[in-house]
């Protein structure tokens, strides 16, 4: 498969290098590589470098575009706020249904929801890829959770996710939280509520008071998550002794399962299940796997066949939404609820039209009051020829509003008919 790279950082460069080393993929173009240009050139000497990125919109340059997290806005402290250039690139690529593998989190939640609306209309592919996880180990742990009473540890009562990090800056912590919410969602289902605790800014938290201009540190952040399941999960960040590490503890009625995952883009993992004390511990090892190669294979399968599968981009956007809500939860000292609304162009259009209708009614009402005052008080203005046509002026906003209703049908893109294009609509998480 031929790959194109949009943006570059250490993480994405290592993933692409591993994919090329397998011999099944080739890098044919790279854009916005900045200080990584020499490394990309040594990796793929024949690749087109830093030319006009809009050639990707033609759809014949590469099979898949890998979108890195390298072009972020340094003035923002969220960890996933891309600059406007990157957002514009994503919008145009999705509009043209160019297959994308986006290193998660690739943009803010609001931009992500907008991309999802465009994707659902263009029938494109957006596959979010989360580095640093061992899918086989997570599947094994997920099977224990889903088995409930029939599993060795019994029904699950709570889940603890402990993330050890060497760099606990705000962007790093929020980025890692957005990625780890994916893990929690595997166990909890859709996230319905989130409550964050950490170092407070100021002596007290006043939900009704003015917002502090100083963003709180997140080096000891703890997040409580609840979802569709009857149990909750708690995510905590703490200093690392040697290297980054993740430990997931599933506490059941009869025992517990502990999954330890090392650092790296494709980490190894070990799972220990203890039932009835230290004497009854079973261990399972999960070697490192090429998860990025598996993600590229998923895209290849979608491009080759009409299989329809559940979309994962919308779920990734909701993971980012949870991470973005941390500061709001800390500032207000309360939980933040998520309702999981479905965003679509049709719903957005209806919302705009509803607001426009209310505005038109208000303007018309004010105009009628003015006309009644002029006519009732017999003001000299009523003798003007322009004033005598005031009833027709009231018709102008009404007719304009009715004509605007036709915009949705005029602007609607034609749906693709081929089975191959229909098969691109949805795909599983990578």
Note whether 43 and 145 are same-domain residues.
no
Q: What is the pTM of this model?
A: 0.78
Q: Are 60 and 93 in contact (CB under 8 A)?
A: no
Note whether 246 and 149 are same-domain residues.
yes
Q: How much is the pLDDT for 421?
A: 43
- Structural domain contains residue 295: no
- Structural domain contains residue 31: yes
* Both structure tokens of 332: 């207000």
Note whether 278 and 392 are same-domain residues.
no
Note whether 351 and 324 are same-domain residues.
no
Last residue in a domain, options 97, 129, 161: 129
Q: How much is the pLDDT for 423?
A: 42
Q: How much is the pLDDT for 212?
A: 62
Q: Please count the structural domains in the chain.
A: 3
Note whether 148 and 242 are same-domain residues.
yes
Can you give the residue range of the structural domain that contains 356? 345-411
Last residue in a domain, options 129, 162, 183: 129
- Structural domain contains residue 6: yes
Q: How much is the pLDDT for 397?
A: 77
Note whether 279 and 369 are same-domain residues.
no
Check the CA dihedral 7-135-239-170 and report its sign. positive
| Structural element, H or E, at residue 260 | strand 255-261
Q: Give the closest residue to 37 by CA, choosing from 63, 56, 62, 9.
A: 9
Last residue in a domain, options 75, 101, 129: 129
- The distance of Cα 351 from the centroid of its chain, to the nearest Å, equals 23
Q: How much is the pLDDT for 213?
A: 66
For residue 146, the tally of other CB atoms under 10 A from its CB is 13
Q: How much is the pLDDT for 323?
A: 93
Note whether 196 and 70 are same-domain residues.
no
Q: How much is the pLDDT for 84?
A: 85
Note whether 219 and 275 are same-domain residues.
yes
Task: Tell me the CATH number at 167.
Answer: 3.30.360.10
Q: How much is the pLDDT for 381?
A: 81
- Structural domain contains residue 386: yes
Q: How much is the pLDDT for 77?
A: 60
Q: Are 233 and 158 in contact (CB under 8 A)?
A: yes
Note whether 331 and 386 are same-domain residues.
no
Note whether 181 and 106 are same-domain residues.
no
Q: Give the closest residue to 103 by CA, choosing from 244, 243, 237, 9.
A: 9
- Structural domain contains residue 221: yes
Note whether 116 and 232 are same-domain residues.
no
Note whether 50 and 162 are same-domain residues.
no
Q: Report the DSSP beta bridge partners of residue 102.
A: 67, 128
Q: Give the closest residue to 133 by CA, choosing from 35, 300, 248.
A: 248
Task: Tell me the CATH number at 6.
Answer: 3.40.50.720
- Structural domain contains residue 37: yes
Mean pLDDT by groups of 10 residues along the chain of 430 residues: 91 90 89 90 89 89 88 61 85 94 91 90 89 90 89 92 93 92 91 87 53 77 94 95 92 92 88 76 87 85 63 89 92 87 68 80 85 84 81 80 71 46 47
């Amino acid at each position: 498969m031929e790959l194109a790279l949009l943006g570059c950082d250490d993480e994405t460069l290592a993933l692409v290098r591993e994919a090329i080393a397998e011999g099944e993929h080739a890098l044919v173009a790279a854009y916005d590589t900045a200080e990584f240009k020499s490394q990309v050139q040594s990796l793929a000497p024949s690749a087109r470098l830093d030319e006009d990125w809009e050639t990707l919109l033609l759809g014949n340059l590469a099979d898949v575009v890998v979108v890195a997290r390298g072009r972020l806005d340094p003035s923002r402290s969220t960890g996933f706020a891309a600059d406007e250039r990157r957002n514009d690139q994503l919008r145009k690529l999705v509009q043209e249904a160019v297959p994308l593998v986006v290193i998660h989190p690739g943009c803010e939640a609001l931009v992500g929801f907008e991309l999802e609306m465009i994707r659902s209309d263009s029938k494109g592919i957006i596959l979010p890829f989360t580095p640093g996880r061992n899918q086989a180990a997570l599947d094994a742990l997920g099977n224990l959770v889903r088995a409930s009473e029939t599993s060795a540890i019994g029904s699950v009562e709570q889940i603890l996710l402990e993330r050890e990090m060497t760099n606990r800056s705000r962007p790093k912590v929020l980025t890692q939280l957005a990625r780890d919410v994916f893990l929690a969602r595997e166990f909890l289902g859709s996230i319905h509520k989130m409550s964050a605790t950490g170092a407070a800014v100021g002596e007290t938290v006043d939900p009704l008071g003015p917002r502090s201009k100083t963003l709180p540190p997140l080096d000891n952040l703890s997040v409580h998550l609840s979802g569709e399941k009857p149990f909750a999960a708690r995510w905590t960040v703490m200093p690392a002794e040697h290297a980054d590490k993740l430990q997931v503890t599933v506490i059941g009625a009869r025992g517990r399962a502990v999954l330890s995952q090392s650092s790296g883009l494709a980490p190894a993992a070990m799972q220990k299940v203890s039932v009835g004390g230290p004497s009854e511990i079973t261990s399972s090892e999960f070697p490192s796997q090429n998860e990025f190669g598996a993600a590229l294979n998923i895209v290849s399968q979608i491009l080759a066949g009409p299989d329809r599968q559940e979309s994962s981009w919308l779920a990734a956007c909701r993971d980012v939404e949870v991470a973005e809500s941390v500061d709001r939860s800390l500032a207000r000292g309360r939980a933040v609820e998520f309702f999981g609304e479905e965003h679509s162009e049709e719903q957005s259009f209806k919302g705009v039209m509803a607001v426009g209708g209310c505005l038109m009614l208000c303007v018309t009402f004010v105009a009628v009051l003015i006309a009644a005052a002029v006519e009732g008080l017999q003001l000299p203005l009523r003798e003007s020829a322009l004033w005598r046509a005031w009833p027709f002026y009231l018709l102008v906003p009404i007719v304009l509003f009715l004509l605007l209703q036709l915009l949705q049908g005029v602007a609607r893109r034609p749906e693709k008919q081929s089975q191959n294009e229909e098969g691109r609509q949805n795909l599983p998480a990578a």
